[in-house]
């Protein structure tokens, strides 16, 4: 079952426009300040027209077998999106999902519980947790206005699950739930809040009719611990086609 990617959604295009990008048939384009150059990125798009831009990067969609070298592109090791991710099959029953997990993950879900998993903190409070988490991990995240805009663009397709010590944003597109921005305090991690929130997100995604849960990126070299955590849910690790770029001077 090959579905369209989040980057192909109208909601994502709206967010990119809010960040100052032009959207042209699957391509995101921006003019560089003080230079007569335009850069373009095409991410997980199945159908697109090559834009008129000085530099173009293509991160092919799943199942795209095109050899872009025949179009003058060169392989690029530095994709903006991770080339690997984990897909969890949500057509399985709750019991099957629990059975497929790593025993420690299943144990933590059964042992620990969180009451009132609704929006127990404000967006501002979640952002503080998220921002502090980014700083600890030396990760460049969204600022508050960008995060708020991101959620607003997706509307009811964005679901924020929180506790007092953690939060997880998931995005829904084409029957797929995407693991998006998240964060936890040090106490929240010790109490396994991220694990419990993911399990709640998986159950919510099933309830909303999603067929797949996409963990949105793994990388053994850059994020070994995070990668092991995402793989512990029993999903399938998949690898996207090679990234390409081309100068069009």
Q: What is the pLDDT of residues 120-136, one digit of tens each?
A: 689 999 999 999 998 88
What angle, 0 to 180 degrees and rounded to 10, lies between the N-to-C axes of helices 123-136 and 144-154?
120
How large is the average pLDDT for residues 228-234?
96
Q: CATH 3.40.630.30 in the chain, residues?
A: 84-239
Q: What's the pLDDT at 215? A: 97
Q: What's the pLDDT at 196? A: 93
Could you tell me what percent of the chain has a pLDDT over 70? 96
Q: What's the pLDDT at 141? A: 87
Return the HEC string of 100-132: HCCHHHHHHHHHCCCCCCCCCCCHHHHHHHHHH
Instruction: Indicate the pLDDT class of residue 48, thresholds 50, 70 and 90.
Output: confident
Q: What's the pLDDT at 11? A: 97
Averaged confidence pLDDT in the chain:
92
pTM for this model (two decimals): 0.92
Q: What's the pLDDT at 203? A: 95
Q: Which residues of 101-125 are buried (b: 16+ CB within 10 A; e: fewer)?
A: beeebbebbeeeebeebeebbebee
Q: In sequence order, which residues have a C-beta less than 8 Å from that of residue 78 and are 6 or more positions away?
A: 243
pLDDT digits (tens, 9 = 90+) for 79-117: 899 999 999 999 999 999 999 999 999 999 988 766 545
Strands laid side by side in the 166-173 sheet: 158-162, 166-173, 176-184, 212-214, 84-89, 236-239
Residue scoring higher pLDDT (88 or 47): 88
Residue 205 has pLDDT above 50, yes or no: yes
CATH class for the domain made up of 84-239: alpha beta
């Amino acid at each position: 079952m090959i579905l369209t990617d989040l980057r192909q959604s109208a909601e994502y295009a709206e967010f990119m426009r809010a960040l100052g990008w032009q959207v042209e048939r699957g391509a995101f384009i921006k003019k560089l300040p003080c230079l007569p150059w335009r850069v373009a990125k095409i991410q997980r798009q199945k159908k697109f027209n090559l834009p008129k831009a000085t530099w173009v990067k293509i991160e092919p969609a799943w199942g795209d077998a095109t050899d872009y070298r025949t179009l003058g592109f060169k392989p690029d090791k530095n994709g903006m999106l991770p080339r690997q991710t984990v897909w969890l099959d949500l057509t399985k029953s709750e019991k099957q999902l629990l059975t497929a997990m790593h025993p420690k993950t299943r144990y933590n879900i059964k042992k620990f519980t969180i009451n009132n998993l609704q929006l127990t903190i404000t967006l501002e409070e979640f952002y503080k947790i998220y921002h502090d988490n980014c700083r600890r991990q030396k990760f460049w995240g969204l600022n508050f206005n960008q995060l708020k805009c991101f959620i607003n663009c997706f509307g009811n397709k964005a679901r924020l699950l929180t506790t007092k010590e953690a939060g997880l944003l998931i995005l829904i597109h084409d029957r797929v739930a995407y693991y998006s921005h998240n964060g936890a305090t040090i106490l929240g991690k010790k109490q396994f809040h991220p694990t419990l929130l993911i399990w709640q997100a998986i159950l919510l995604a099933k309830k909303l009719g999603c067929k797949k849960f996409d963990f949105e990126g793994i990388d053994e070299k850059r994020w070994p611990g995070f990668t092991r955590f995402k793989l512990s849910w029993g999903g399938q690790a998949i690898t996207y086609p090679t990234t390409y770029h081309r100068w069009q001077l």
